[in-house]
Amino acid sequence: MTSFREALRIQRWDDHRYYHHSRINQALHLVSAISFIAAYVIAFKDLALAALIGWLFSMTTRQAGHFFFEPHEYDHVNHASHEHKEEIKVGYNLFRKVILMSIWVFSPLPLLFDPTYFGVFTPAASTWELVRHVGYIWFAIALGGLVFRVAQLCVTRDVQTGLVWGTKILTDPFHDIKLYWRAPFALMRGELIDPREGHSHA
């Protein structure tokens, strides 16, 4: 059986080589990673604010890279179609991301009709308190999305795959900085696609 560390390395490498060809996507992941780490630090004191940063800035920059800048045509480097890559993706592929992001966008709407959010909160006394309630909702969505996919992978694949993916997601910001800190410099040279994709193991 593959060791946990080796399985983590493989998941990281597959994610990089299949889904991060675009230098713009890489640069956006760098920005996202830095802000996610800031959110991690803030979370020790303020979960609501951390969730607001994580969703409004970190996740939007990260997912914009995948949806708008990453090539979706046939991947000649890895000899794989976009459809195949979506099918084999361990984590959230684009279809699953649409569902997750839709839940994120619409999850605060019940506050318009029930300020207690089904009894969870005391009605907000100020706009900032209302915003913080949204932050707590989004933190729950993030935690739920992580736990749900880990559990799903544990059932549909195996426990190690699920736990490895969960570890990968939580540590991605640190690893992304290591991988993509050069991306802005490549963009300044006019390089839109990473020419080394798929040619060497990360």
Note the pLDDT tens digit of each residue in 1-40. Answer: 689 999 999 999 999 999 999 999 999 999 999 999 999 9
The pLDDT tens digits of the residues spanning 108-160 come to: 999 999 999 999 999 999 999 999 999 999 999 999 999 999 999 999 999 99
pTM of the predicted structure, to 2 decimals: 0.92
The pLDDT tens digits of the residues spanning 83-103 come to: 999 999 999 999 999 999 999
Question: Rounded to 5 degrees, what angle do the CA atoms 7, 8, 13 make?
Answer: 100
The pLDDT tens digits of the residues spanning 37-73 come to: 999 999 999 999 999 999 999 999 999 999 999 999 9
Please say whether the dihedral angle defined by the alpha carbons of residues 153, 99, 59 and 107, taken in this order, is positive or negative: negative
Q: Residue 200: what pLDDT?
A: 46
Q: Which residue pairs, CB below 8 angstroms and at least 24 apart, start in 66-72?
A: 66/19, 66/25, 66/94, 66/97, 67/94, 67/97, 69/22, 69/24, 69/25, 69/28, 70/19, 70/20, 70/21, 70/22, 70/25, 71/21, 71/22, 71/193
